[in-house]
Chains A and B, each alone.
Chain A
């Protein structure tokens, strides 16, 4: 084993020379393949940004949703909640504004786009997007029925021409607030809020170039459609006939956004009268677009931080350029390979890019740090390249293998995009390694510091010289001006953050060698205390991790003051709630839903759950409500008839009216053969965990309401489902698969460390410093009661993969040094000196870069940025203090025989 490791180190030492020998071949190959990959990425990329991309398309939950859409139409509506600024949605001014807005939304073709802004928050306003509007309902066009003598009147709640007198207006308001079916849907009980419902056709458009099977030239109507002359028609039917199901075009995030922007332009016109709180998929996706835009800005800033830090730390622009070339090629190839394999890319691609970026930077920093330090020590260029790869190559290989193993563990997930993400990321990490060992030597040969003709000082060097020449009070003044400028231009939080980075960078740049030199002495003085402190931290993290709750609350994924969160709160507090679920009743009997006992049971169920679940549930609606409503109206509006009729014939005739008017509305409640119906539940938004009890209790109520019908309807099935249930299932699936893959990743990494480090003892010692950063995020979230949402959970393995890399570099290098020198003290000293600096630099670059993400409005992203960077910084602390302490205490020899176990850090360095 020892020989293998030394052999590998020697292999990596010889590799640069071989690569440089084949320089033209390698460069030509890389260029040609890169062109091919870029061509593939540009022409063949299939990006699936749809919201249901998470699950395998053959998943029963997705099939149910598709079936639902075929039966019931698109479920993507905009619920535009508005608050009347004068406090009364029934005031003359508010009503006029809503009437006009409703008309604008319905008849947008008549509007002149010139009267509206041409763009909103950077997105162009395109009125044609409003073609997605199918129906607009508001207090301006809702109707109510009145029975006068033998006449049924259908009247507008608010007449198109508002009455002149204030008394009549007040009468309208009184009448409106007395209508239970409209309160909570169209306006709040205190008349402060109202709602405009905009139904769209999103998710209902057939895939492009869809050709109906009936278009085939050989296909013709069955002969039975030409009925016989005896005046009787019976169409033949064949249950085996092949039904060509339409596949719907997946809705991408951008079309929701452009629609949302166009509709926003319309309603903003009335914002001196109304305040808006839009909820529903299009506004939410509009928000997601905002998140993506913000992330793009943060991403640019992040790259900028990477660039500046690399530049300052290495004081050469080659240290900036070559890592970026290496990373760009890794990303391009990963992307190219994926699309050439014909795999559809999801939003996870951004995570893959992030991971490849982080791993690529770490790889390059380790190599270049070795190269630069050899050069500073006076080594000649080629020798320095060779030795730097000899020093880092083995550790790069091990980190590549462990990180790949970590992300490959995700392929055990049942979620398709996770599998793709696992494969792509593993490929990306391996490619980053490949380019680091194959291409970086050539790049460094093309341009590197100390290159003939470039011997003058670099800009950071010159700036440093000027700075050091300044007097102390000048320095302080400049720092104050810098700080003020930061606060003014970036605000307090971001300004403070940049100031913090600047100070830290300054400290590291100036004193990193001193820090690294004293570290072993500090550790040697109090190894047990250090061990105790880290053991305490680890204990706390594990304790915290056991308390962490895996929980997703849609509205809590955004910051508290964000309009989207406010909108959810307004809907939940004042209207019928921002979420919905459905109870599906399948009698499995033709026309079973016309049977009065079944309808009565549904009525009972609705009544029961409204009573017992009032905390979450605000309103229920089903076929039964319609039947009762028409029954009352047809019986002269006598409230005594607001009930399920006694006979099947009566039910059937009341529904005849309903079905004749609009089978679409009827189909939204009951299937064509009347065997299956659904109850819609309006519920307040809550976290997925809180719904757990709700799901169970509804299940019990269902059993109680239908138990007596089991004999007559043995195949009766009643189930709770809907998009909330789907989300719940998805979140459950993600947590399960993530916890599993997390465990698999830890196990695989442990085994690899044991093998690489040559002993069980060594492997375990190396695992502990890896476990602390891995558990830190979870632990802190558990301790502070921050729920772990599915988004954070998805990113956890990525962060952990990055955090453990430095530890592996440290341990691998230590073992190689131990084999070479045979002395624990000497190996430790050399390891801290050789690897310490690189580990410090990568921590600075990645830790500070990731921390920038905590400024995202999207808390899923912000949390992962914050806790991720903490984990990376904690890994550094473990490498510098915990590992030396453990080595000094346990004196592991990693299988090296006759090692010198004496500890020689008893006195502080001068």
Chain B
């Protein structure tokens, strides 16, 4: 059990912070080449483009997000929570390191619920495969930091949930596109936007690692944002669906600030809302150390300073 906790924490470090900034020299999505109307474009190219923006993390980012999870139902044709959702509020700060900015450090703090307030996670992710990633967990009730090390980091590739939500680490994964057969199925309209419907089928090697036998993405043709994803299991049953909303232009990149993952088997959904997102902030190296976890006063001062930068 605890082995899986470690696996998660290591992976979680790679996921947070979720932020986006247009990398230098990139063009705006609007100006990317529009495919020939009569011929469907190359799906792999589109997906690469989408991920490019998605991955475009800044050197220095701060965000506040909220994860709400509930059992859902349908009321007057609206998908809605059927019970009071359980809410987790998180704050995270991240910064890239290394000569090419390929390593990263991040710290994530739980704000809510009250019982979990102050739980912190510090992660160092190294691009060099030979160097093991490092994680520290801080439980405020215990008042102690623990370094977490996995004896063999190569294994336990099972997808773990993000903070107990319906999102798994696999859903947040980027890259690995070459391990899929990618087909553009059609061009249609989703949520009032023109989209490409793109199907991803894992190859044999990838199929071993994923719970999904097929993923169908609805990509906004103009903004290169995924508006909807349908996930099917290996038997072809629809098991999960992701719906994006509140697509906004943030620092010149379109992004969905509200993503809702529905588990169609258990009828549970999780909504990940990026309440605040700021990029290009000055983050002191000291913030990305254990001190932020343990020293509440230091943490508050630092976060205050970051907030003052963005206001």
Contact = CB atoms under 8 A, between A and B. Distances in A.
Contacts of B285: none
Interface stretch (A84-92, A224-232, A415-423, A691-699): A224-232
Contact of A222 (B80, B83, B257): B80
A663 interface: yes
Contacts of B158: 135
Interface string B191-229: 100000000000010011000000000000000000000
Nearest to A666: B164
A241 B243 contact: no
Interface residues on A, range: 35 or more
B79 A219 contact: yes
Interface string A473-490: 000000000000000000
A141 B155 CA distance: 10
Contact of B78 (A109, A220, A233, A647): A220
A269 to B, nearest CB: 20
A162 to B, nearest CB: 14
Nearest to B247: A226
A254 interface: no
Interface in B136-174: 137, 139-142, 144-152, 155, 158, 160-165
A451 interface: no
B73 interface: yes
B81 interface: yes
Given A205-B235, A649-B115, A650-B141, A236 B86 contact: no
Interface stretch (B19-27, B177-185, B267-275): B267-275
A635 B245 contact: no
Interface stretch (A149-157, A388-396, A541-549, A719-727): A149-157
A206 interface: yes
A233 B68 contact: yes
Contact of B74 (A152, A155, A213, A237): A213
A455 interface: no
Contacts of B5: 657-658, 660-661
B241 A214 contact: yes
Contact of B267 (A239, A244, A594): A244
A541 to B, nearest CB: 54
A152 B266 contact: no
Interface in A271-317: none
A533 B171 CA distance: 80
Contact of A634 (B1, B74, B144): B144
Contact of B80 (A152, A238, A673): A238
A652 B81 contact: no
B69 interface: yes
Given A660-B8, A672-B71, A221 B243 contact: yes
A898 interface: no
A174 B29 CA distance: 61
In this complex, the member of A205, A216, A626, A662 whose beta carbon has the largest number of chain B beta carbons within 10 angstroms is: A662
A659 interface: yes
Contacts of B139: 634, 653-654, 656-657
B184 to A, nearest CB: 22
B79 A220 contact: yes
Interface string B104-139: 000000100101100100000000000000000101
Contacts of A629: 1-2
B36 to A, nearest CB: 29
B265 A246 contact: yes
A589 interface: no
Contacts of A664: 161
B245 A226 contact: yes
A695 to B, nearest CB: 30
B: interface residue count bin: 35 or more
Given A649-B115, A653-B139, A237 B246 contact: no
A242 B74 CA distance: 5
B237 A206 contact: yes
Nearest to B246: A226
Dominant secondary structure of chain A at its interface with chain B: mixed
A244 B84 contact: no
A751 B255 CA distance: 82
A222 B82 CA distance: 12
Contact of B85 (A143, A155, A237): A237
Interface string B242-258: 01011000000000011
Nearest to A217: B77
B151 A665 contact: no
B7 A661 contact: yes
Contacts of B12: 660
A665 B158 CA distance: 13
Contact of A212 (B80, B144, B160, B238): B238
A125 to B, nearest CB: 19
Contact of B260 (A135, A215, A225): A225
Contacts of A666: 164
Interface string A222-263: 111111000111011111111111100000000000000000
Contact of B152 (A135, A156, A630, A658): A156
A844 B205 CA distance: 64
Contacts of B62: none
Contacts of A665: 1, 4
Contacts of A223: 78
Given A206-B265, A227-B258, A656 B80 contact: no
Contacts of B83: 237, 239, 673
B28 interface: no
Interface of A: 70, 107, 109, 131, 135, 141, 143, 145, 150-156, 160, 204-206, 210, 212-216, 218-227, 231-233, 235-246, 594, 626, 629-630, 633-635, 645, 647-650, 652-654, 656-666, 672-673
Given A225-B243, A657-B137, 9 more contacts: A131-B235, A154-B3, A221-B260, A227-B258, A233-B68, A238-B81, A241-B74, A660-B5, A661-B8
10 contacts: A131-B234, A154-B3, A204-B265, A205-B237, A238-B81, A246-B264, A629-B2, A633-B2, A661-B160, A661-B161
